[in-house]
Amino acid sequence: MRVRSIFCAVVPLLAVVLAPPAAHAVAINVSCNSRVVGAINVTANGTGISGGFTSSVGGPPGTLAAAAAACNETQFNWYQIVTATNGAYQNRQGANLTPPFIDPPLNGLSVAQDPTWADNMPWYWDMYAPTAGTPNYDAAYQLSNNTTAGTLNFADYPGGPAGRTVSFNTWLVSLNANGSFQAFDGGFSWNWAQATNSVTGIAALAGNPTAAQYQNIIAGFATRVPEPASMTLLAGGMLMLAGMARRTRR
Residues 68-120 pLDDT 10s: 999 999 999 999 999 999 999 999 999 999 999 999 999 999 999 999 999 99
Read off the pLDDT band of 233 (50, 70, 90): very low
The vertex-208 CA angle with 173 and 14, nearest 5°, equals: 105
Q: Please give the average per-residue pLDDT across 161-182, as a whole number.
A: 96
On the question of pLDDT at 227 being above 80, the answer is no
* Close Cβ partners of 20 (under 8 Å, ≥ 6 residues apart): none
Q: Is residue 58 part of a domain?
A: yes
Return the closest-CA partner of residue 190 out of 198, 179, 180, 178.
Answer: 198
Instruction: Please give the pLDDT value at position 223.
Output: 87
Res 3: pLDDT: 58
- Find all residues with CB under 8 Å of 221, minimum gap 6, and list them: 102, 106, 120, 121, 122
In a domain, 124, yes or no: yes
Per the domain annotation, does 210 fall within a domain?
Answer: yes
Computed over every residue of the chain, the mean pLDDT equals: 85
Q: How far apart are CA 2 and CA 176, in angstroms?
A: 22
| Inside any domain, residue 84 | yes
Q: What is the pTM of this model?
A: 0.85
pLDDT confidence tier of residue 39, bands split at 50, 70 and 90: very high
Task: Give which of 72, 73, 55 is closest to 64, Cα–Cα.
Answer: 55
Q: Which domain holds residue 105?
A: 14-238
Task: Work out whether the CA dihedral 89, 225, 128, 47 comes out positive or negative.
Answer: positive
Work out how many domains the chain is built from and give that number: 1
pLDDT greater than 60 at residue 40 = yes
Q: Is the pLDDT assigned to residue 65 strictly greater than 70?
A: yes
- Whether the pLDDT of residue 42 is over 50: the answer is yes
Q: How confident is the model at residue 63 (pLDDT cuts 50, 70, 90)?
A: very high
Distance in angstroms (rounded) separating the CA atoms of residues 138 and 128: 11
65 domain residue, yes or no: yes
Provide the percentage of residues in the chain whose pLDDT is more than 70: 82
Judge whether residue 19 has pLDDT over 80: no
Residues 6 or more apart in contact with residue 227 via CB below 8 angstroms: none
Q: Establish how many alpha carbons lie within 13 A of residue 229's alpha carbon, considering only the half-sphere containing its beta carbon.
A: 0
pLDDT band per the 50, 70, 90 thresholds, residue 199:
very high
Domain membership flag for residue 50: yes
CB 3 within 8 A of CB 156: yes
